[in-house]
Amino acid sequence: MSSQVVTFSVNRLARTLTVSAQASLLGVLRNDLELNSPKYGCGLGECGACTVLVDGVAARACVIPAAGVAGREITTLEGLGSLAALHPVQQAFIEEQAAQCGYCLSGMIMMTSALLARKPDPTEDEIRRELSGNLCRCGTHLEIVNAVLRAAELTRQALAKDPRP
């Protein structure tokens, strides 16, 4: 089994790891770096439970080879905000009680963060389209859509206070 040394950034921290050629980004994040917010759902990139940001773009960590993220910036839910300063998306999901079991939550939040970075004022239809590839088996879709709308509002408010990127 071949392996290689890969250097990348995770939640703004440089990491250098030796990874096997078969290792997925999800496996490395969960098993080697102990970042448990991205979940293993389907292993096929279909459910969205493993969604992370790769250079700010939502991506399915279960189908990305770990060796393929060399030199890239990976952001997981753990790197989005903090207990002292929640990210607007995290705050909105709490306010709107947009979770039941929580299994899909990290993926939904990461997908929402990517959406709002591209489009700070999405319509409800745009939100539904964007999140259509993230599955919620508990049926909290209405609360999730409301949380995304609230996150957009909180993001706009934050930008109005401090317009620096």
Does residue 163 register a pLDDT over 80?
no
CA distances from 130 to 12, 19, 23, 53 (A): 26, 32, 28, 15
Q: Output 13 or 1, whichever has higher pLDDT.
A: 13
**Domain at 81-161, CATH from 1.10.150.120, 3.30.70.2740, 3.40.718.10, 1.10.645.10:** 1.10.150.120
Digit-coded pLDDT (tens) for 36-65: 999 999 999 999 999 999 999 999 999 999
| Phi, psi angles (nearest 5°) of residue 17 | -135, 155
Q: What's the pTM? A: 0.93
Backbone angles phi, psi at 136, to 5 degrees: -125, 110
Query: For 117-160, what is each residue's pLDDT tens digit?
Result: 999 999 999 999 999 999 988 878 899 999 999 999 998 888 78
CA neighbours closer than 13 Å in the CB half-sphere of residue 13: 11
Map out the domains of the chain as residue ranges.
Answer: 3-79, 81-161
pLDDT at 32 over 70: yes
